[in-house]
Chain A
């Protein structure tokens, strides 16, 4: 009798595992919450997503959004240090630092798993993923979006038609000076040029300068430089041209006098409300040159100069798998699933059709930000090219973006990751100096003639030479090992 019972038990267990009647595997996915409130429908959406996942993959996901969006960067290192259970983790250079966590062994290497378990992801992004290499291994999946950096100019269409500007001939930032003068004279309530970031910073793609992974406001390397030499930005002649340009524009009144006190979101709002006439940017999205602006009107984008892809473009949005996860392979499979199944991907990004967005006749969607689920951040969830186009956007843009990414040149430093252990002190000290001088000087708010020498001297005292030497050493070693020319 006992033996029959034992056999029956074994058979049942075999059957349940083989036929998949066992409980679905539970994964935990940590993401920054981004999106308007009310976020009240998140449970409804997650349940709907999990229904599909449970049926097709035998997986359910516990989507964890820790704290408010700005707190993700504070909470994730803490949660990881405390060993909280996690499988999928959003990580980047601007929140929850990817390189740091990867170097500390917190993420699982995906080099062998991706080709095997996520063939579509691998095929689509394998070239770009070289930028996500830390010590030779890939630790994250890139959420495929615009990667190429191109300096560009944003303007309101109403101003263009009023003054009859033609941007086809735009070759360099100085070309807009006469237009700035016209705005200053003719539109007294507007701020001619936004200084959310200094002109020099937006012009880095135009100048062909990329970074080394830290202190992007201080250090740079040339995109084309096979010798990958790192230098201090304020020692570069062309960079200084931009600084002086900003200063002359400040003196002519084209910059907001208190601009350095406005926060990022305030600039965003001013742009939305049309209070700002011109705004530079460093990411041009092909196919989206004319987009509807909030508060009405259209925003026109005019790119100029070269396009290139740099390491930070890829490290801008990665999803990693925790090295301590018990479900590494399943996690990778889940990422592949989201990458290739528009229904479930759009569900997690936009919510439920009819409830959170409506579909229009031509296949676009009109989301309702007030309906209870509006993230508007497909890049956090994965393959943005899979997202349904929103009304007012160009459906061909995804393909054009992909093509631009492919044909843009790749910065020579892609794939290099910096080890900070021996230079932590200098990084901290240089950061302090940067905080004091960067915004006022590079934006032109205070006289560069007087203050650039002060800035340089302070950097020297903070150990920038040691910093440059150590970084160069690591760059040279990496270039040699990877045959970079």
Chain B
């Protein structure tokens, strides 16, 4: 069928750059020796997973990863859809463009740069926050040792980074809604809020559900830059900010073991796949086949 032909370029590109290398996943079960190459290296079963499974920290690290991601998955659509709708409602084209451009700025800054900016605020001696609270007489806080604050700091930074990006996506989704629907609702006497509830949300729901399921697929993966750079590698904060990718990176720094690295990647992928399949099935069941990824 002609439709199949349209899919060919994507199928070929993904095959070359994603599926061919995937054969190398076997490294997760091998003791990789460079001279023997991937195929010649000896099999060692599940041994590469050992350090991750035996370590006490794996529970904490996995918990952190999943919880942060869950927060992002829930909060990002709420805030981004909210902003997209607000942008839409203000109606002024120039303002909308200006807001969208500004909201996107955080995405451009690398985490290295962002961590420096946060430092300007959070620094113990000259930081803006400590200077501000000193005015009301509170003692300066050593933020980079204060574990309790960091889940919020990370959440704030992660959301701040992603919101511009997501707002644009949902805004595009809003563009696709037929204005006639809004007019019809208005004629029926629906106010702003009701139009939002009964027209906007249902029409956007497919997009939101897809984005959320995609997020769930990645729930075991962490944005390495965020967790590595922002806390400025303060050891004391690790229990709050250590995530799977960061943990693996540090643990393997001395060893440089590709097999172990691949093993953990495989673990993250498999867990993500299971969750997506489950969530997709649930989503289809609950909405009677309407919403879902496939």
Give the interface of A toward B (CB within 8 A).
Answer: 77, 80-81, 83, 97, 100-101, 104-106, 214-215, 256-258, 260-261, 263, 323, 420-421, 424-429, 431-432, 435-440, 445-446, 458, 461-463
CB contacts (< 8 Å) of B31 on chain A: these are: 421
A431 touching B253 in the complex, CB below 8 Å, given contacts A258-B125, A425-B51, A436-B235: yes
The reply to whether B35 and A429 form a contact with Cβ atoms under 8 Å apart is no
CB contacts (< 8 Å) of A104 on chain B: these are: 33-35
* Alpha-carbon gap, A112 to B258, bound state (A): 33
Q: Please provide the chain B residues from 46 to 62 with a CB less than 8 Å away from any CB of chain A in the complex.
A: 47, 50-51, 54-57
* Alpha-carbon gap, A100 to B123, bound state (A): 39
* Alpha-carbon gap, A445 to B146, bound state (A): 12
* Alpha-carbon gap, A77 to B252, bound state (A): 13
A261 touching B55 in the complex, CB below 8 Å, given contacts A106-B35, A420-B255, A436-B239: no
Between A and B, how many residue pairs show CB distances below 8 Å? 98
* Shortest distance from the beta carbon of B237 to any chain A beta carbon, whole Å: 9
The reply to whether B256 and A429 form a contact with Cβ atoms under 8 Å apart is no
Most A CB contacts (10 A, CB to CB) among B35, B124, B252, B253 go to B35
The reply to whether A436 and B236 form a contact with Cβ atoms under 8 Å apart is yes
CB contacts (< 8 Å) of B238 on chain A: these are: 435-436
The reply to whether B34 and A427 form a contact with Cβ atoms under 8 Å apart is no
The reply to whether A215 and B235 form a contact with Cβ atoms under 8 Å apart is no
For the complex, is B224 an interface residue (Cβ under 8 Å from A)?
no
* Shortest distance from the beta carbon of A78 to any chain B beta carbon, whole Å: 9
CB contacts (< 8 Å) of A421 on chain B: these are: 31
User: Considering the complex of A and B, which 8 residue pairs feature the smallest CB-CB distances, nearest first?
Assistant: A261-B232, A428-B51, A428-B251, A425-B51, A81-B34, A257-B124, A436-B238, A425-B50
The reply to whether B35 and A261 form a contact with Cβ atoms under 8 Å apart is no
CB contacts (< 8 Å) of B54 on chain A: these are: 425, 429, 463
* Shortest distance from the beta carbon of A183 to any chain B beta carbon, whole Å: 16
Mask for B240-255, Cβ within 8 A of A = 1, else 0?
0000000100111111
A257 touching B51 in the complex, CB below 8 Å, given contacts A104-B33, A427-B254: no
- 29 cross-chain CB contacts under 8 A: A80-B34, A81-B32, A81-B37, A81-B258, A83-B37, A97-B256, A104-B35, A105-B33, A105-B35, A215-B254, A258-B124, A258-B142, A260-B144, A261-B233, A424-B260, A425-B47, A425-B51, A426-B51, A428-B55, A428-B260, A431-B254, A432-B247, A436-B236, A436-B238, A437-B235, A440-B145, A445-B236, A462-B55, A462-B56
* Alpha-carbon gap, A215 to B251, bound state (A): 11
* Alpha-carbon gap, A286 to B51, bound state (A): 44
* Alpha-carbon gap, A83 to B40, bound state (A): 14
* Alpha-carbon gap, A420 to B35, bound state (A): 17
In the complex, what residue of chain A is closest to B31 when comparing beta carbons?
A421
The reply to whether B233 and A428 form a contact with Cβ atoms under 8 Å apart is no
* Shortest distance from the beta carbon of B63 to any chain A beta carbon, whole Å: 15
Q: Please provide the chain B residues from 240 to 281 with a CB less than 8 Å away from any CB of chain A in the complex.
A: 247, 250-258, 260
The reply to whether A429 and B34 form a contact with Cβ atoms under 8 Å apart is no
* Alpha-carbon gap, A104 to B41, bound state (A): 12
For the complex, is B103 an interface residue (Cβ under 8 Å from A)?
no
Mask for B50-90, Cβ within 8 A of A = 1, else 0?
11001111000000000000000000000000000000000
CB contacts (< 8 Å) of A263 on chain B: these are: 232
The reply to whether B257 and A424 form a contact with Cβ atoms under 8 Å apart is yes
In the complex, what residue of chain A is closest to B259 when comparing beta carbons?
A424
The reply to whether A424 and B255 form a contact with Cβ atoms under 8 Å apart is yes
The reply to whether B236 and A428 form a contact with Cβ atoms under 8 Å apart is no
For the complex, is B194 an interface residue (Cβ under 8 Å from A)?
no
In the complex, what residue of chain A is closest to B38 when comparing beta carbons?
A81
The reply to whether A424 and B232 form a contact with Cβ atoms under 8 Å apart is no
The reply to whether B125 and A440 form a contact with Cβ atoms under 8 Å apart is no
For the complex, is B182 an interface residue (Cβ under 8 Å from A)?
no
A431 touching B251 in the complex, CB below 8 Å, given contacts A261-B232, A425-B54: yes
For the complex, is B101 an interface residue (Cβ under 8 Å from A)?
no
CB contacts (< 8 Å) of B205 on chain A: these are: none
The reply to whether A257 and B142 form a contact with Cβ atoms under 8 Å apart is yes
* Shortest distance from the beta carbon of A414 to any chain B beta carbon, whole Å: 21
The reply to whether B144 and A261 form a contact with Cβ atoms under 8 Å apart is yes
* Shortest distance from the beta carbon of B141 to any chain A beta carbon, whole Å: 11
CB contacts (< 8 Å) of A427 on chain B: these are: 254-255
* Shortest distance from the beta carbon of A187 to any chain B beta carbon, whole Å: 15
Most A CB contacts (10 A, CB to CB) among B47, B238, B260 go to B238
The reply to whether A424 and B51 form a contact with Cβ atoms under 8 Å apart is yes
* Shortest distance from the beta carbon of B156 to any chain A beta carbon, whole Å: 18
Partner among B47, B55, B233, B256 whose Cβ is within 8 Å of the Cβ of A432: B55
The reply to whether A438 and B235 form a contact with Cβ atoms under 8 Å apart is yes
A432 touching B251 in the complex, CB below 8 Å, given contacts A80-B34, A104-B34, A258-B125: yes
* Alpha-carbon gap, A461 to B57, bound state (A): 10
